[in-house]
């Protein structure tokens, strides 16, 4: 019996053993294929990075070599610097350096990119590079020389020793301190050198991009937790302010604020709010919940949101964008200053489309952007500004708008809404210079609501 059973089972076990071995071989081959593909990707990104940093050094040198009066040559050079720096940043993001301190070099390249872009996009015939900006460009050339040299040294080592980036990834991912890895040591040394560079005199426009919002930027007196209880209770409609729980955040820092929470009247749903400690202004309101059904459209949600803003002290607001996700409408409003739409003072309101509850309010842009502004009359008429538009653009409406352009400047524009190439667009033309500052595409559903 056992003999008969072994005769039957042996071929089956043999086939299973061969099948398991073949499956293991295929898995091994597939794993090797993935590893080889990842290694090739890392090697390509690394060598491209070395090439572009070397090219960056050359391009800055070429830009500095031209006559100071050759504004077109400066513009072309600065655009190339911005393009090459952006490519280098992209290649760094493809390398397994997330666990390696390389942030100083990345920050340096980001600021170099922003500096060159902001200098290139302006009219250099009217605003040529200043002496300080030329000094900055010379400093960037010196630093780019050093970074290029260090990167070429790492590249030479990688090629001479046939080093693998997969080993770098494994070394960085392990809990043990990486030991004797030429690539890691090279990049760490490079980043240390960058961190020791003297402070560069970046332009105010570049530094404004890195300026964080903090409560010291706000005006008003410092409020207490009791003040916030009163404000939160009034906003939500709670009779007893003591029902509001308040927690102070960031004590002793520039981000001092209060978080308030309370049950929404007539429900068990919690409401959460954040207020600034200076001025006691509402930054954020959240009463989110699951919205399973939809019985309202965007137009109705817009009207509900507008009424909510009016009731809570946000007057003279107009809806400027609409979105819908998960049966919740997200509507952004901008303030109106006479006939001007002020996009610097915005609030975003969330409305549940089942019963019209307002489930959220984001007012940070409004709080930090609101201030007294004396807007000068535009130098161009709407008809003069219209002449800068494409002949194929069919404008349907025009009004004045205050926006922030790519140079982080507040600019008064004419906002033209119209059609071109089958799409609906907002085009912002500078009301003083006629320069096209910004273009936004309007989705079909947004256009339908805006007309109602």
Residue 436 and residue 412 share a domain: yes
247, 273 Cβ separation under 8 angstroms: no
Residue 193 and residue 135 share a domain: yes
- With respect to residue 374, please indicate whether it lies within any of the assigned structural domains: no
pLDDT in tens, 53-76: 888 888 888 888 877 667 778 888
- With respect to residue 395, please indicate whether it lies within any of the assigned structural domains: yes
Number of structural domains (the chain) is 3
Residue 431: what pLDDT?
A: 94
Nearest to 400 by CA among 448, 337, 306, 443: 337
CATH number of the domain at 395, please. 3.10.450
Report the distance separating Cα 423 and Cα 443, nearest Å.
Answer: 8
pLDDT in tens, 348-390: 999 999 999 999 999 989 998 888 888 889 999 999 999 999 8
Nearest to 422 by CA among 394, 450, 389: 394
Residue 239 and residue 363 share a domain: yes
- With respect to residue 9, please indicate whether it lies within any of the assigned structural domains: no
Residue 185 and residue 82 share a domain: yes
Residue 37: what pLDDT?
A: 74
Residue 139 and residue 105 share a domain: yes
Report the distance separating Cα 236 and Cα 223, nearest Å.
Answer: 19
**Which of 328, 343, 369 finishes a domain?**
369
Residue 145 and residue 54 share a domain: yes
Residue 17: what pLDDT?
A: 61
- With respect to residue 259, please indicate whether it lies within any of the assigned structural domains: yes
Residue 246 and residue 203 share a domain: no
Report the distance separating Cα 97 and Cα 103, nearest Å.
Answer: 10
Q: Whole domain around residue 28: which residue ranges?
A: 24-208
Residue 174 and residue 111 share a domain: yes
Nearest to 261 by CA among 291, 290, 284: 284
- Say what the pTM is: 0.67
Structure tokens at 424: 């609906």
pLDDT in tens, 150-169: 888 888 887 777 777 777 66
Residue 173: what pLDDT?
A: 63
Q: pLDDT band for position 13 (50/70/90)?
A: low
Residue 393 and residue 334 share a domain: no
- With respect to residue 294, please indicate whether it lies within any of the assigned structural domains: yes
The angle that helices 165-173 and 2-65 make with each other, rounded to 10 degrees, is 100
pLDDT in tens, 182-236: 777 788 888 888 877 777 766 655 555 555 666 777 888 889 999 999 999 999 9
Structure tokens at 375: 């807007």
Q: Which distant-in-sequence residues (6+ apart) come within 8 Å of 114 by Cβ?
A: 206, 209
């Amino acid at each position: 019996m056992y003999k008969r059973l072994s005769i039957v089972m042996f071929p089956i076990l043999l086939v299973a053993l061969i099948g398991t071995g073949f499956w293991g071989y295929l898995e091994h081959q597939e794993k090797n294929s993935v590893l080889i593909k990842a290694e090739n990707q890392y090697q390509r990104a690394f060598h491209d990075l070395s090439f572009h940093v070397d090219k960056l050094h050359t391009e800055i040198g070429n830009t500095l070599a031209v006559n100071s009066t050759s504004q077109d040559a400066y513009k072309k050079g600065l655009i190339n610097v911005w393009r090459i720096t952006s490519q280098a940043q992209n290649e760094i993001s493809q390398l397994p350096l997330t666990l390696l301190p390389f942030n100083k070099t990345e920050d340096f390249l980001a600021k170099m990119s922003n500096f060159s872009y902001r200098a290139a996009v302006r009219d250099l015939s009217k605003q040529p590079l200043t002496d300080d900006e030329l000094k900055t460009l010379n400093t960037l050339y010196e630093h780019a020389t050093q970074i290029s040299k260090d990167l070429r040294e790492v590249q030479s080592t990688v090629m001479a020793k046939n080093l693998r980036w997969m080993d770098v990834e494994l070394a960085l991912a392990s809990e043990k301190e990486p030991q004797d890895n030429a690539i890691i040591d090279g990049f760490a040394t490079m980043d240390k050198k960058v961190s020791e560079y003297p402070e560069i005199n970046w332009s105010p426009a570049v530094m404004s991009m890195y300026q964080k919002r903090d409560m010291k930027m706000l005006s008003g007196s410092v409020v207490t937790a009791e003040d916030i209880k009163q404000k939160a209770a009034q906003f939500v409609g709670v009779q007893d302010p003591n029902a509001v729980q308040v927690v102070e955040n960031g004590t002793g820092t520039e981000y001092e604020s209060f978080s308030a929470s309370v049950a929404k009247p007539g429900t068990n749903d919690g409401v959460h709010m954040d207020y600034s400690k200076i001025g006691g202004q509402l930054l954020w309101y959240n009463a989110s919940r699951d919205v399973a059904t939809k019985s309202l459209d965007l137009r109705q949600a817009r009207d509900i949101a507008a009424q909510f803003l009016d009731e809570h002290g946000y007057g003279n607001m107009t809806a400027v964008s609409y979105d819908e996700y998960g049966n919740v409408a997200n509507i952004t409003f901008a303030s109106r200053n006479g006939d001007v739409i002020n996009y610097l003072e915005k609030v975003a309101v969330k409305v549940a489309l089942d019963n019209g509850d307002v489930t959220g309010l984001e007012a940070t842009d409004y709080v930090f952007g609101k201030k007294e502004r004396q807007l000068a009359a535009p130098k161009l008429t709407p008809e003069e500004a219209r002449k800068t538009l494409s002949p194929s653009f069919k404008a349907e409406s025009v009004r004045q708008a205050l926006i922030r352009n790519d140079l982080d400047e507040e600019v008064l524009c004419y906002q033209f809404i119209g059609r071109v190439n089958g799409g609906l667009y907002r085009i912002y033309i500078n009301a003083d210079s006629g320069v096209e500052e910004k273009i936004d595409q309007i989705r079909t559903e947004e256009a339908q609501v805006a007309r109602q």
